[in-house]
Amino acid sequence: MREDNSSVSFLLTGFPGLETSHSWISVPFVVVYTSVLFGNGTLLFLIKADHNLHEPMYYFLDMLAATDLGLTLTTMPTVLGVLWLDHREIDNGACFSQAYFIHSLSFVESGILLAMAYDRFVAIRNPLRYTSILTNARVMKIGLGVLTRGFVSVIPPIMPLYFFPYCRSHILSHAFCLHQDVIKLACADITFNRLYPVVLVGLIFVLDALTILISYVLILKSVLSIASREERVKAFNTCVSHICCVLVFYVTVIGLSLIHRFGNQVPHIVHLIMSYVYFLFPPLMNPIIYSAKTKQIRNGLLRLFTIHRVGA
């Protein structure tokens, strides 16, 4: 039986079979969410407040922190609603909007990591022209381009969701809405919605990753051509934080993709854990990586907290 789309709602799923333990399961989620909000929020405030960090590299880091915050704030309400209040029902408009922002922000994050690779490429290959190439206006254009690509490219598969009839079970497999979950419940021709995301992932995630890899091959070539060992180490150290963030992001993407593609025999709980790792691990780790590996960020944090302590 088909339903009027205006009255369609979906049921989110927490951890099946562990409903009585949801309150305990929520504890690590709250800890991680709080850490993500604090870490990325601190980075945003620090980069805005500290004029020593008003450089292209840190502007891109600012965009990364904002994207991680956006992704966390998009998923957090429904996840905690399910775990704390057993509030599983979500109407179609809220569900499709959540799916839109989750997928868009994931593509935006990939684009920002690519932009950060370009920043490091210019800084090491053309250090004397770095400021003239990466002007504030160009950084803004790159940022707008990344946002536009992420938010516009996801519109085609999301828009049909509002018009599909849904006549199957309305139970989703996660505590948040994903495009691939919703289309399984549609009673319509979903060929486009199955093929387009595959092409999109290839054009964005795969091409971004390959471009980042090529840029680092060229960066490594430039670093090895530097005569002084001390200068080689210094040049490479400026890339360590970004390399770590790239690995954290793409390893989780690859892991989740492999589980979805080849994990038919894998317990559902593993699928759930991998999805949460994908959405929570990079936003949690990125501020930690940059705080631990980047001297300018560490110094900025010391200045920030020293000023606050003196002011208190």
Query: What pLDDT, on the 0 to 100 scale, is given for residue 48?
Result: 92
Nearest to 183 by CA among 106, 105, 103, 251: 103
> Can you tell me which residue has the tokens 């429904």?
78
Q: Average pLDDT over the chain, rounded to whole?
A: 90
Q: Are 248 and 286 in contact (CB under 8 A)?
A: yes
The mean pLDDT value for 243-272 works out to 86
The angle formed by the CA atoms of residues 203, 206 and 209, to the nearest 5 degrees, is: 125
Query: What pLDDT, on the 0 to 100 scale, is given for residue 1?
Result: 45
pTM recorded for the entire structure: 0.93
What contacts 117, CB < 8 A, 6 or more positions away? 211, 212, 215, 216, 242, 246
Nearest to 208 by CA among 235, 245, 240: 245
The mean pLDDT value for 255-273 works out to 81
Backbone angles phi, psi at 304, to 5 degrees: -60, -50
Q: What is the pLDDT of residues 121-180, one digit of tens each?
A: 999 999 889 999 999 999 999 999 999 999 999 999 999 999 999 887 789 999 999 999
Query: What pLDDT, on the 0 to 100 scale, is given for residue 310?
Result: 52
Examine the pLDDT at 231 and tell me if it is beyond 50: yes
What contacts 195, CB < 8 A, 6 or more positions away? none
Query: What pLDDT, on the 0 to 100 scale, is given for residue 306?
Result: 78
Euclidean distance between CA atoms 125 and 221, whole angstroms: 9
Nearest to 95 by CA among 168, 199, 195, 5: 5
Q: What is the pLDDT of residues 146-161, one digit of tens each?
A: 999 999 999 999 999 9
Where helices occur in 227-267 by DSSP H, the ranges are 229-262
Q: What is the pLDDT of residues 92-124, one digit of tens each?
A: 999 999 999 999 999 999 999 999 999 999 999
Euclidean distance between CA atoms 175 and 68, whole angstroms: 18
Query: What pLDDT, on the 0 to 100 scale, is given for residue 309?
Result: 57
Give the CB-side neighbour count of residue 194, counting CA atoms within 13 A: 7
**Confidence category of residue 8, pLDDT binned at 50, 70, 90:** confident
What contacts 237, CB < 8 A, 6 or more positions away? 293
Q: Three-state SS for 91? A: strand
Examine the pLDDT at 264 and tell me if it is beyond 80: no
Q: What is the pLDDT of residues 206-225, one digit of tens each?
A: 999 999 999 999 999 988 88
**Confidence category of residue 292, pLDDT binned at 50, 70, 90:** confident
Cα 40 to chain centroid, rounded: 12
Euclidean distance between CA atoms 233 and 67, whole angstroms: 30
Euclidean distance between CA atoms 154 and 47, whole angstroms: 30
Backbone angles phi, psi at 11, to 5 degrees: -110, 120
Query: What pLDDT, on the 0 to 100 scale, is given for residue 6?
Result: 54
Q: What is the pLDDT of residues 66-75, one digit of tens each?
A: 999 999 999 9
**Confidence category of residue 4, pLDDT binned at 50, 70, 90:** low
Q: What is the pLDDT of residues 9-48, one digit of tens each?
A: 899 999 988 889 999 999 999 999 999 999 999 999 999 9
